[in-house]
Structure 1
Amino acid sequence: MLNKAILVGRITADPELRHTPSNIAVTSFTVAVNRPYSKNAERQTDFIDIVAWRSTAEFVCRYFHKGNAIAIDGRIQVSNYTDKEGNKRRRFEVLADNVSFVEGKNASAASAAPSESAQPQAGAPVAFESGNMDDFEEIDLGDDLPF
Protein backbone atom coordinates (compact mmCIF):
# COMPACT_ATOMS: atom_id res chain seq x y z
CA MET A 1 0.00 0.00 0.00
CA LEU A 2 1.12 3.55 -0.65
CA ASN A 3 0.00 6.80 0.95
CA LYS A 4 1.86 9.70 -0.67
CA ALA A 5 0.82 13.31 -1.22
CA ILE A 6 2.86 15.86 -3.14
CA LEU A 7 1.49 19.42 -3.18
CA VAL A 8 2.64 22.81 -4.41
CA GLY A 9 0.67 25.84 -3.33
CA ARG A 10 0.65 29.04 -1.29
CA ILE A 11 0.35 29.34 2.48
CA THR A 12 -2.89 31.10 3.44
CA ALA A 13 -1.77 32.45 6.85
CA ASP A 14 1.46 32.69 8.87
CA PRO A 15 2.19 29.31 10.47
CA GLU A 16 2.38 29.44 14.28
CA LEU A 17 4.66 27.15 16.25
CA ARG A 18 3.06 25.35 19.19
CA HIS A 19 4.38 22.71 21.57
CA THR A 20 2.69 19.63 23.01
CA PRO A 21 2.74 19.07 26.79
CA SER A 22 5.84 16.91 26.21
CA ASN A 23 7.49 19.88 24.39
CA ILE A 24 7.26 18.50 20.84
CA ALA A 25 7.04 21.25 18.21
CA VAL A 26 4.01 21.22 15.90
CA THR A 27 2.41 23.60 13.43
CA SER A 28 -0.76 23.47 11.37
CA PHE A 29 -1.37 25.61 8.32
CA THR A 30 -3.43 25.65 5.14
CA VAL A 31 -2.12 25.62 1.59
CA ALA A 32 -4.12 26.90 -1.39
CA VAL A 33 -3.56 24.58 -4.36
CA ASN A 34 -4.94 25.44 -7.81
CA ARG A 35 -6.76 22.78 -9.77
CA PRO A 36 -5.95 22.34 -13.46
CA TYR A 37 -7.97 24.50 -15.85
CA SER A 38 -11.08 23.05 -17.45
CA LYS A 39 -12.36 24.31 -20.78
CA ASN A 40 -14.54 27.41 -20.33
CA ALA A 41 -14.38 27.18 -16.54
CA GLU A 42 -12.97 29.35 -13.81
CA ARG A 43 -9.85 28.14 -12.07
CA GLN A 44 -10.75 26.44 -8.80
CA THR A 45 -8.62 26.20 -5.68
CA ASP A 46 -8.49 23.57 -2.98
CA PHE A 47 -7.53 24.58 0.56
CA ILE A 48 -5.63 21.70 2.16
CA ASP A 49 -4.77 21.43 5.86
CA ILE A 50 -1.15 20.56 6.60
CA VAL A 51 0.47 19.42 9.87
CA ALA A 52 4.23 19.43 10.46
CA TRP A 53 5.99 18.07 13.53
CA ARG A 54 9.31 18.57 15.32
CA SER A 55 12.14 20.15 13.33
CA THR A 56 10.02 20.33 10.17
CA ALA A 57 7.49 22.46 12.09
CA GLU A 58 10.29 24.73 13.34
CA PHE A 59 11.66 25.06 9.79
CA VAL A 60 8.26 25.98 8.33
CA CYS A 61 7.57 28.58 11.02
CA ARG A 62 11.00 30.13 10.62
CA TYR A 63 11.12 30.44 6.83
CA PHE A 64 7.55 30.44 5.49
CA HIS A 65 4.88 33.12 5.79
CA LYS A 66 1.48 33.96 4.34
CA GLY A 67 1.57 34.01 0.55
CA ASN A 68 4.82 32.04 0.19
CA ALA A 69 4.84 29.19 -2.30
CA ILE A 70 5.71 25.86 -0.70
CA ALA A 71 6.19 22.29 -1.91
CA ILE A 72 5.08 19.58 0.49
CA ASP A 73 5.85 15.88 0.38
CA GLY A 74 3.86 13.89 2.90
CA ARG A 75 1.01 11.52 3.55
CA ILE A 76 -2.74 11.86 3.99
CA GLN A 77 -4.15 11.25 7.44
CA VAL A 78 -7.85 10.83 8.23
CA SER A 79 -9.27 11.51 11.70
CA ASN A 80 -12.79 10.82 12.92
CA TYR A 81 -14.33 12.93 15.67
CA THR A 82 -17.64 14.10 17.10
CA ASP A 83 -18.41 17.83 16.91
CA LYS A 84 -20.07 19.96 19.62
CA GLU A 85 -23.54 19.09 18.32
CA GLY A 86 -22.84 15.35 18.48
CA ASN A 87 -22.39 14.89 14.72
CA LYS A 88 -19.73 12.44 13.52
CA ARG A 89 -17.16 14.21 11.35
CA ARG A 90 -14.14 13.19 9.32
CA ARG A 91 -11.06 15.38 8.84
CA PHE A 92 -8.46 14.97 6.11
CA GLU A 93 -5.01 16.53 6.46
CA VAL A 94 -1.54 16.02 5.06
CA LEU A 95 1.32 15.20 7.44
CA ALA A 96 4.38 16.94 5.99
CA ASP A 97 7.46 14.73 5.84
CA ASN A 98 9.44 17.14 3.67
CA VAL A 99 8.96 20.80 2.71
CA SER A 100 10.78 22.80 0.04
CA PHE A 101 11.00 26.35 -1.23
CA VAL A 102 9.45 26.89 -4.64
CA GLU A 103 10.64 30.41 -5.39
CA GLY A 104 13.52 32.71 -4.50
CA LYS A 105 13.46 35.52 -1.96
CA ASN A 106 12.60 38.31 -4.41
CA ALA A 107 9.61 36.44 -5.88
CA SER A 108 8.20 35.45 -2.52
CA ALA A 109 8.76 38.87 -0.96
CA ALA A 110 6.15 40.38 -3.26
CA SER A 111 3.44 38.01 -2.04
CA ALA A 112 4.52 37.56 1.57
CA ALA A 113 3.63 39.58 4.62
CA PRO A 114 6.55 41.66 5.91
CA SER A 115 8.85 39.67 8.12
CA GLU A 116 12.20 40.07 9.79
CA SER A 117 13.06 36.42 9.10
CA ALA A 118 15.34 36.10 6.11
CA GLN A 119 14.53 33.47 3.51
CA PRO A 120 17.15 31.47 1.63
CA GLN A 121 17.85 32.60 -1.90
CA ALA A 122 17.51 30.52 -5.05
CA GLY A 123 20.48 28.19 -5.23
CA ALA A 124 20.62 27.73 -1.47
CA PRO A 125 19.72 24.38 0.09
CA VAL A 126 15.97 24.31 -0.43
CA ALA A 127 14.65 21.14 1.18
CA PHE A 128 14.33 20.00 4.74
CA GLU A 129 13.51 16.46 5.82
CA SER A 130 15.09 16.06 9.21
CA GLY A 131 18.09 17.43 11.00
CA ASN A 132 19.11 20.48 12.89
CA MET A 133 18.31 24.10 12.04
CA ASP A 134 22.03 24.81 12.43
CA ASP A 135 22.68 22.62 9.36
CA PHE A 136 21.48 25.47 7.14
CA GLU A 137 23.49 28.46 6.07
CA GLU A 138 21.84 31.38 4.32
CA ILE A 139 23.53 32.46 1.11
CA ASP A 140 22.96 35.93 -0.33
CA LEU A 141 23.06 35.78 -4.12
CA GLY A 142 21.47 39.18 -4.55
CA ASP A 143 20.04 39.66 -8.03
CA ASP A 144 22.93 37.87 -9.76
CA LEU A 145 21.16 34.60 -10.56
CA PRO A 146 22.56 32.15 -13.12
CA PHE A 147 19.30 31.95 -15.09
Structure 2
Amino acid sequence: MESATNKVVLSGFAGADAEVKNVGSQKLAKVRIAINESYRNSSGEDIKKVQWFNLIFWNAKADIAEAQIKKGTGLTIEGKLQNSSYDGKDGSKRYHFEIVVIDVVIRENEKQNAF
Protein backbone atom coordinates (compact mmCIF):
# COMPACT_ATOMS: atom_id res chain seq x y z
CA MET A 1 0.00 0.00 0.00
CA GLU A 2 1.30 3.46 -0.87
CA SER A 3 1.83 6.01 1.85
CA ALA A 4 -0.31 9.14 1.79
CA THR A 5 0.78 12.75 2.23
CA ASN A 6 -1.18 15.51 3.93
CA LYS A 7 0.63 18.76 3.16
CA VAL A 8 -0.67 22.27 2.56
CA VAL A 9 1.36 25.34 1.57
CA LEU A 10 -0.36 28.74 1.57
CA SER A 11 0.85 32.29 1.13
CA GLY A 12 -1.45 35.18 2.01
CA PHE A 13 -2.34 37.76 4.64
CA ALA A 14 -3.74 37.48 8.18
CA GLY A 15 -7.33 38.69 8.37
CA ALA A 16 -7.05 39.70 12.03
CA ASP A 17 -4.68 39.53 14.99
CA ALA A 18 -4.02 36.01 16.26
CA GLU A 19 -6.70 34.79 18.69
CA VAL A 20 -4.94 32.99 21.55
CA LYS A 21 -6.22 30.78 24.36
CA ASN A 22 -5.05 27.98 26.61
CA VAL A 23 -6.42 24.49 26.07
CA GLY A 24 -5.48 22.53 29.15
CA SER A 25 -1.71 22.82 29.44
CA GLN A 26 -1.28 23.77 25.77
CA LYS A 27 -1.43 27.13 24.04
CA LEU A 28 -3.55 27.52 20.91
CA ALA A 29 -3.61 30.41 18.42
CA LYS A 30 -6.12 30.75 15.60
CA VAL A 31 -5.61 32.93 12.55
CA ARG A 32 -7.62 33.29 9.35
CA ILE A 33 -5.52 33.76 6.23
CA ALA A 34 -6.78 35.46 3.07
CA ILE A 35 -5.51 34.19 -0.26
CA ASN A 36 -6.05 36.71 -3.06
CA GLU A 37 -6.61 35.18 -6.49
CA SER A 38 -7.21 36.81 -9.82
CA TYR A 39 -7.93 35.41 -13.23
CA ARG A 40 -9.51 36.35 -16.53
CA ASN A 41 -12.81 34.63 -17.34
CA SER A 42 -13.94 33.47 -20.78
CA SER A 43 -15.49 36.92 -21.45
CA GLY A 44 -12.14 38.59 -20.86
CA GLU A 45 -13.13 40.14 -17.52
CA ASP A 46 -10.53 40.32 -14.75
CA ILE A 47 -11.98 38.52 -11.73
CA LYS A 48 -10.61 39.01 -8.21
CA LYS A 49 -11.52 36.54 -5.51
CA VAL A 50 -10.50 36.09 -1.87
CA GLN A 51 -10.48 32.68 -0.25
CA TRP A 52 -10.23 32.31 3.55
CA PHE A 53 -8.58 29.46 5.43
CA ASN A 54 -8.45 28.74 9.17
CA LEU A 55 -4.97 28.22 10.63
CA ILE A 56 -4.19 26.58 13.99
CA PHE A 57 -0.88 27.15 15.81
CA TRP A 58 0.07 25.08 18.89
CA ASN A 59 2.43 25.86 21.78
CA ALA A 60 5.72 27.51 20.67
CA LYS A 61 4.21 28.35 17.27
CA ALA A 62 1.23 29.87 19.11
CA ASP A 63 3.69 32.10 20.99
CA ILE A 64 5.11 33.27 17.65
CA ALA A 65 1.62 33.86 16.26
CA GLU A 66 0.60 35.85 19.34
CA ALA A 67 3.68 38.06 19.23
CA GLN A 68 4.03 38.61 15.50
CA ILE A 69 0.80 38.02 13.59
CA LYS A 70 -1.40 41.08 13.32
CA LYS A 71 -4.10 41.95 10.81
CA GLY A 72 -2.54 42.30 7.36
CA THR A 73 0.70 40.44 8.18
CA GLY A 74 2.09 38.51 5.22
CA LEU A 75 2.37 34.77 5.95
CA THR A 76 3.62 31.71 4.17
CA ILE A 77 2.75 28.51 5.99
CA GLU A 78 3.28 24.81 5.62
CA GLY A 79 0.89 22.59 7.47
CA LYS A 80 -1.51 19.68 7.38
CA LEU A 81 -5.22 19.68 6.71
CA GLN A 82 -7.44 18.48 9.53
CA ASN A 83 -11.20 18.14 9.61
CA SER A 84 -13.91 17.52 12.15
CA SER A 85 -17.63 16.98 11.87
CA TYR A 86 -20.67 17.91 13.90
CA ASP A 87 -24.43 17.74 13.58
CA GLY A 88 -26.03 20.97 12.41
CA LYS A 89 -29.21 22.43 13.91
CA ASP A 90 -31.15 20.84 11.08
CA GLY A 91 -29.66 17.42 11.91
CA SER A 92 -27.39 17.31 8.87
CA LYS A 93 -23.72 16.41 9.15
CA ARG A 94 -21.43 19.46 8.89
CA TYR A 95 -17.69 19.49 8.33
CA HIS A 96 -15.08 21.99 9.51
CA PHE A 97 -11.61 22.17 7.97
CA GLU A 98 -8.53 23.86 9.38
CA ILE A 99 -4.81 23.79 8.74
CA VAL A 100 -2.46 22.85 11.57
CA VAL A 101 0.66 24.94 11.01
CA ILE A 102 3.96 23.05 11.00
CA ASP A 103 6.17 25.88 9.74
CA VAL A 104 5.56 29.59 9.23
CA VAL A 105 7.45 32.41 7.53
CA ILE A 106 6.30 35.87 8.53
CA ARG A 107 6.85 38.34 5.72
CA GLU A 108 7.38 41.35 7.98
CA ASN A 109 7.89 43.94 5.27
CA GLU A 110 4.79 42.86 3.42
CA LYS A 111 1.41 44.06 4.73
CA GLN A 112 -2.02 44.22 3.23
CA ASN A 113 -4.71 46.37 4.78
CA ALA A 114 -7.65 45.61 2.51
CA PHE A 115 -8.94 42.24 1.43
Q: TM-score, normalised by structure 2?
A: 0.83
Q: Distance in 1 between matches of 2:80 and 2:61?
A: 14
Q: 1:81 deviation in Å?
A: 1.2
For the 8 Å contact 2:15–2:34, the answer to whether it is kept is yes
Q: Distance in 1 between matches of 2:104 and 2:49?
A: 24
Q: Distance in 2 between matches of 1:46 and 1:88?
A: 23
| Matched AA of 1:20 | V
Instruction: For residues 78-130 of structure 1, give each alpha carbon's deviation from its aligned partner in whole angstroms, at most 9, with x where no partner exists.
Output: 111113443310111111001111242xx43x74xxxxxxxxxxxxxxxxxxx
Bigger proportion of residues as helix: 1
SS in 2 for 1:44: strand
Q: What does residue 11 of structure 1 align with?
A: 14
Gap regions ≥5 residues in structure 2? none
Q: What does residue 75 of structure 2 align with?
A: 70
Q: Identity of counterpart residues, as a percentage? A: 25
Gap regions ≥5 residues in structure 1? 112-147
The list of structure 1 runs, each at least 4 consecutive aligned residues, that deviate by more than 3 angstroms after superposition, is none
Q: TM-score, normalised by structure 1?
A: 0.66
SS in 2 for 1:37: strand
Q: 1:38 deviation in Å?
A: 2.7
Q: Distance in 2 between matches of 1:98 and 1:36?
A: 26
